[in-house]
Each structure stands twice: as C-alpha cells, then as structure tokens.
Amino acid sequence: LAKTTQPISMDSYEGQEVNITCSHNNIATNDYITWYQQFPSQGPRFIIQGYKTKVTNEVASLFIPADRKSSTLSLPRVSLSDTAVYYCLVDYTFFGGTYKYIFGTGTRLKVLA
Amino acid sequence: KAGVTQTPRYLIKTRGQQVTLSCSPISGHRSVSWYQQTPGQGLQFLFEYFSETQRNKGNFPGRFSGRQFSNSRSEMNVSTLELGDSALYLCASSFEGAQTGELFFGEGSRLTVL
C-alpha cells in the first residue's frame, strides 16, 4: 500500500534552516518526489523535484537517500513569508506501468519573528 | 502567460444534485489533473487527462468523472452529490504530467454540499 507521511507541524524562527521530511514506502526507482507550498485559499505552488541524491534550486534543496524511503526538503534561512503548508508528492508506479500521485499529509510550517 | 483558471470558484449544491467544474490549463499544456482537498483526507488525486484521454485515475467512486477537450480544457463532474463531497477541487496543468514536470495549480473550486 502506497503511503506518504509528513510531520503535522513545525515551528521555526526567521533566518533558520528548516528541514521537512517525507516518508514514502514502495517507491520505484524512477518515481519522482516533488514538493509544493500552499498558502490559504490558493492552489499549491511548485518548489522542487527530484528522484535521487540531491537537487538544489534558488529556493530549496531536496535530499533523497539511497534507499529512497524518505526525502527531505531543506529551506535555507526562512522568513515570515514562508509560513505555509508544505506537501510532498510522490508519483508511485504500480504494476502494469500505471502510476498514481500520492500527496503527503502536509506539514504546517510557522515561522516566528 | 495566463495561469490555470478554474470556474466556478464557489458553489453550493444539495445532496443528490450533480455538479460540473471547469478548468482551463496554461496555454501549451497537454496534461490536466484533478485533486480533492479536504481537512480530513488532505489532497487526493482524482484523475489525469492527457491529449483528451484519461491516463490515470485515483481511488474515487464512479460518481466522479471527467473529460478533456481538444483545446486541453477539462471538466470534472460529480453526480449524486453526498455531504462528504464538500471540498476544494483543484485542477493542475503541466506540459507532460506530474511524473516528469511541475504541476501548475489553479485556485480551486470550493464546493459545499448541503
């Protein structure tokens, strides 16, 4: 059974680095992991995507260990505007080649001044 | 470049009715996927369409259906509405699909079933 779990909430202070972990079982070799940010009354917004090792862009890094049973979104030096809910999304490949998109449970990040 | 547009933004229906939601993807995007978001179940994948064909489907009953037109616009329909169908329905578009690229989400259609 494909399942994707995250911590429910996290608090951090401005300027700190925040790491949010997503646990995903039964992930296939080439299944992608994507992270999204969602503000109230808005649709999720893309942050970063990868499927192995480490990916970095201008706003975040994504770490995926060799066993690929988890992934970690790293936000460097967060600000108050980073207060939002963060979701990981895994596209699980099932037998027969079909795949389904499974969102994580979401992590509510609160950044404090 | 215009974003993903969903209509209507808000609607109220009663049990037993049906509803149709519309999604206009970003120009040039061929994939449209739909999601249901509720406080209890979070974000759940409904289905994905690519070039007018349903490519993937989540674990929802047959009351939930969709289609995609030749211009990539998509509609989803929910028949025989139940109270539990109250949710934010999100549409997302991408050039190829979530598996290989980022999804661009609309702001959603908030459905309330009374």
Task: For residue A80, give the 3-state DSSP assignment.
Answer: helix
Which segment of A79-93, B37-51, B97-111 scores lowest on mean pLDDT? Answer: B97-111
First to last CA, chain A: 41
Phi and psi, residue B83, nearest 5°:
-55, -35
**Distance of alpha carbon A48 from alpha carbon A50, whole angstroms:** 7
Q: pLDDT tens for residues B55-82? A: 888 889 999 999 999 999 999 999 999 9
Interface subset of A 7-66, CB within 8 angstroms of B: 32, 34, 36, 41-46, 49
Is A93 a residue whose pLDDT tops 70?
A: no
| pLDDT, average across residues B84-106 | 87
Average pLDDT over residues B3-13: 96
Is residue B100 scored above 70 in pLDDT?
Answer: no
pLDDT at B12: 98
Contact A42 B107 (CB under 8 A): yes
Chain A closest-CA separation from residue B103 CA (Å): 7
Q: Looking at chain B from residue 39 to 78, which residues have their Cβ under 8 Å from any Cβ of chain A?
A: 42-45, 48, 56-58
